[in-house]
Amino acid sequence: MTTRTRHEPLNGVDTQALLSTVDAVKATPSLAAFQFRAVNRWVTGTHSRSEIRGFYGAGREDVTRFEDFVCEADHPAVLVGTGKAPTPVEFLLHALAACLTAGLVNVAAVRGVKLTEVEASVEGDIDLRGILGLSEEVRNGYQGLRVGFRIRGDAPEEVLRGLVERSRSRSAVYDVLTTGVPVEIDVTTG
Q: State in angstroms the smallest separation of the CB of 112 from a second copy.
A: 16
Q: How far is the CB of 155 from a second copy (least distance, A)?
A: 9
Query: Which residue, 17, 9, 23, 19, is CA-closest to 112?
Result: 9
The reply on whether position 98 binds a second copy by CB under 8 A is yes
6 close to 110: Cβ distance less than 8 angstroms: yes
Q: 59 burial class (0-12, 13-18, 19+ CB within 10 angstroms)? A: exposed
Task: Using CB under 8 A, pick the residue from 4, 25, 111, 114 that binds a second copy.
Answer: 25
110 binds a second copy (CB under 8 A): no
Binding of a second copy at residue 42 (CB under 8 A)? yes
Among 7, 18, 111, 154, binds a second copy (CB under 8 A): 18
Residue 3 binds a second copy (CB under 8 A): no
**Burial (Cβ within 10 Å: 0-12, 13-18, ≥19) of residue 157:** exposed
Q: Single out the residue of 4, 7, 14, 114 in contact with a second copy (rule: CB under 8 A).
A: 14
Q: Which residue in 7, 111, 114, 126 binds a second copy (CB under 8 A)?
A: 126
Site for a second copy in 136-175 (CB under 8 A): 138-152, 157, 160-161, 164, 168, 170-175
The answer to whether residue 6 forms part of the interface with a second copy (CB under 8 A) is: no
Q: Does 113 bind a second copy (CB under 8 A)?
A: no
Measured CA to CA, the distance from residue 10 to residue 23 in angstroms comes to 19
- Residue type present at position 151: I
Which one of 3, 78, 136, 137 is in contact with a second copy (CB under 8 A)? 78
What torsion do the CA atoms of 86, 92, 96, 98 make, to the nearest 10 degrees? 30
DSSP state of 13: B
Specify the 3-state DSSP secondary structure of 49.
strand
